[in-house]
A and B are shown apart, each in its own frame.
Chain A
Amino acid sequence: MIAAKDLSRSFDGRLAVEALSFQVPAGALCALLGPNGAGKTTTVRMLLGLLPPSSGGGEVAGVSLPATDRSGAALRARAGLLTESPGFYDKTGGRENLELFGRLYGIGPAPLRSRIEHWLRRLELWEARDQPFGTWSKGMKQRLALIRAVLHEPEVIFLDEPTSGLDPAAAREVRDLIAALRREGRTILLCTHNLAEAQQLADLVGILRRRMLAFGRQAELTAERPRLEVRLAAEAAPFATALRGLTSVQACEASGGTLRLSLNEMERNTPEVVRELVRLGGQVLEVRPVVPSLEEIYLRAVREEPA
């Protein structure tokens, strides 16, 4: 389980993460979305005990935050991290790189050898195992970094931009592996810019821009702010001006013969809007609620929050 409670962190007086509170239950995959500089990496580092929070705390894999030197080590033994850049030794082969990190995670020589072989074969890196890491393609490097993150069989995995800069085929391979890890019951926190990736993989979604702008199950987030779409027989613009005067209408846009409205309360306010349109002489052809995509939710949340 991952739990953050009022987690804040500032650098030289500048607040990078502010009062972050959220919880990812064991076995769930949470995608943390946010623009560059939103505080995603800082959040991961705090949750992994690499950075002490300025205030607040939490719990990851049964270890309380903020962590001490000792408890931080215990936490990192139960958690894996995929960093934004792979971070291996260029002149050393992939297998040897994994051996070094595996030993640092305290894995014994025999299980380490078999785990490395298992993962290298599974991710189709076995043939290249002894070639210097520096000669590998970006996709291969990222897969190797993912192996390092799971080699010690951690309960919790933090993935920081795992598909960043990968070609579509390599990105898909990495996504498939993340999905497989989730099926194995690992708790995963995935930091990404890629909304489609989050939509595809995540149980929970958090939108972060210094503070948590929205957090919840995808379905809950998208259901939170549905819109009403009304198709009219005539040009919709004149009706939009009139509807904006209603107290129940938060926003109204017209495009051709279609009106898109944000209402205070969808079910209660819809009849009122339709009545008003009919009263104004509009011929209503279709009325339907539209559930926004994750992308729309994200963009709306990020736009509303000052940088």
Chain B
Amino acid sequence: MTREVLLLFFRKETRDLRSNRQIWPAYLALPGVAILLPVLLLALLPILADPVRAAHDPAARLITELVSNDPTLHGATMQERLARLLLRDFGVFYLLIPVILASSAAALALVREKEQRTLEPILATPLTDRDLLLAKLFAAVAPALVVTWGAALLGMLAGALGAWWRIGALIAPTAGNVVGLVLLAPAMSVAAALIGLRISARFTDVPSATQYTGLVVVPVGLVLAAVLGRPAMASPLVGLAGALVVGVAALGLFRRNVRRFRREEILTRWR
């Protein structure tokens, strides 16, 4: 039954997202940024890598030092090495997109059912708590990942072409970028969605659930991306280890969510 339930909720929630004006702009804006920003950064390369500017601008000097001190960045010119750094580290943004999208969708997942008074009829079906939470999780994470992967594909393509245009070299994604995108991004988005689901189960109105989820998930996601993201983009092993750690944490969160999913609380507290 689980597979069918997953698809049912996936279709329903995707349709709900499309009609939700609070959510779908984020599904357009974040991928848009993911595609355009690498090109914009590459366009700024001559300014960012300008040695004259680096002499009196501390920010430009910091970038130059960062590039010079990173042995993994190779290239004939400073501009090429900086381009490699920008495109590689931009992969961190691809970790944040699914975290934001999946947690936003998950924050709505149960509280919207409460508001529409559809949760009790759903709970009255033979769905187990595990089935329901898994279906809601899948419905929140799958569209976020599809959008992220699509945006990443286009963003990386735009980055490669931008680099060719700017410095005459094709820059491919690093192994760290690929591992981050394929393993770390799903693990992080699942963990974020599980936090959103937990909050959605506890709150009784949509604005509170979404705001509270944002308050919890965004800082945690940013810290995680800052601590884990850059090293993971530089080293696929770090990405792999990070995905494992976050994945195990997500599994623990899921189990905890199932254990703490109190039908009684949900049924008696929303009125």
In the complex, chain A residues whose CB is within 8 Å of the CB of B125: 76, 101, 104-105
Q: Does A100 reach chain B (CB closer than 8 Å)?
A: yes
The stretch from A46-54, A188-196, A219-227 touching chain B is A46-54
Q: Does B256 reach chain A (CB closer than 8 Å)?
A: no
Most buried by B among A73, A77, A90, A105: A73
- Are B19 and A91 within 8 A (Cβ)? yes
- Are A100 and B126 within 8 A (Cβ)? no
Kindly identify which residue among B8, B118, B120, B264 contacts A52, using a CB–CB cutoff of 8 Å. B264
In the complex, chain A residues whose CB is within 8 Å of the CB of B119: 87
Nearest opposing residue in chain A for B1, CB measure: A106
Most buried by A among B4, B124, B264: B124
Kindly identify which residue among B12, B117, B121, B130 contacts A81, using a CB–CB cutoff of 8 Å. B121
- Are B264 and A87 within 8 A (Cβ)? no
- Are A48 and B124 within 8 A (Cβ)? yes
Q: Does A300 reach chain B (CB closer than 8 Å)?
A: no
Kindly identify which residue among A51, A74, A85, A88 contacts B263, using a CB–CB cutoff of 8 Å. A51
Q: Does B47 reach chain A (CB closer than 8 Å)?
A: no
Classify chain A: how many residues form its interface, as a range: 20 to 34
A142 to B155, CA, bound (A): 50
Q: Does A64 reach chain B (CB closer than 8 Å)?
A: no
Kindly identify which residue among B8, B120, B130, B268 contacts A69, using a CB–CB cutoff of 8 Å. B130
Kindly identify which residue among A52, A70, A89, A100 contacts B128, using a CB–CB cutoff of 8 Å. A70
- Are A148 and B263 within 8 A (Cβ)? no
- Are B124 and A81 within 8 A (Cβ)? yes
A106 to B263, CA, bound (A): 21
Interface residues of A in 87-114 (CB under 8 A from B): 87-91, 100-101, 103-106
A145 to B45, CA, bound (A): 62
A52 to B267, CA, bound (A): 12
- Are A51 and B19 within 8 A (Cβ)? no
Nearest opposing residue in chain A for B122, CB measure: A104
- Are A105 and B8 within 8 A (Cβ)? no
Given A69-B130, A91-B19, A100-B12, is A50 in contact with B116 using a C-beta cutoff of 8 Å? Answer: no
Nearest opposing residue in chain A for B8, CB measure: A103
In the complex, chain B residues whose CB is within 8 Å of the CB of A80: 124
Nearest opposing residue in chain A for B112, CB measure: A89
Q: Does A264 reach chain B (CB closer than 8 Å)?
A: no
Q: Does B146 reach chain A (CB closer than 8 Å)?
A: no
Q: Does A45 reach chain B (CB closer than 8 Å)?
A: yes
A72 to B12, CA, bound (A): 25
- Are B126 and A69 within 8 A (Cβ)? no
- Are B5 and A104 within 8 A (Cβ)? yes
In the complex, chain B residues whose CB is within 8 Å of the CB of A262: none
Given A51-B263, A91-B19, is A73 in contact with B128 using a C-beta cutoff of 8 Å? Answer: yes
Q: How far apart are B2's CB and chain A's nearest CB, in angstroms?
A: 11
Nearest opposing residue in chain B for A12, CB measure: B268
In the complex, chain A residues whose CB is within 8 Å of the CB of B121: 81, 83, 87-88, 101, 145, 148
- Are B116 and A100 within 8 A (Cβ)? no
Q: Does B59 reach chain A (CB closer than 8 Å)?
A: no
Nearest opposing residue in chain A for B123, CB measure: A50
- Are A76 and B126 within 8 A (Cβ)? yes
A77 to B123, CA, bound (A): 11
Most buried by B among A74, A76, A87, A101: A87
In the complex, chain A residues whose CB is within 8 Å of the CB of B264: 45, 50-52
Chain B window 1-42, contacts with chain A (Cβ cutoff 8 Å), 1 for yes, 0 for no: 100110010001000000100000000000000000000000
- Are A73 and B126 within 8 A (Cβ)? yes
Chain B window 225-241, contacts with chain A (Cβ cutoff 8 Å), 1 for yes, 0 for no: 00000000000000000
- Jot down 17 A-B pairs with beta carbons below 8 A, ordered by A: A51-B268, A69-B128, A70-B128, A74-B126, A76-B125, A81-B124, A85-B117, A87-B120, A88-B118, A88-B121, A89-B116, A89-B118, A91-B19, A101-B121, A101-B122, A104-B127, A145-B121
Interfacial residues, chain A to chain B (CB-CB below 8 A):
11, 45, 48, 50-52, 69-70, 72-74, 76-77, 80-81, 83, 85-91, 100-101, 103-106, 145, 148
Interfacial residues, chain B to chain A (CB-CB below 8 A):
1, 4-5, 8, 12, 19, 116-130, 263-264, 267-268
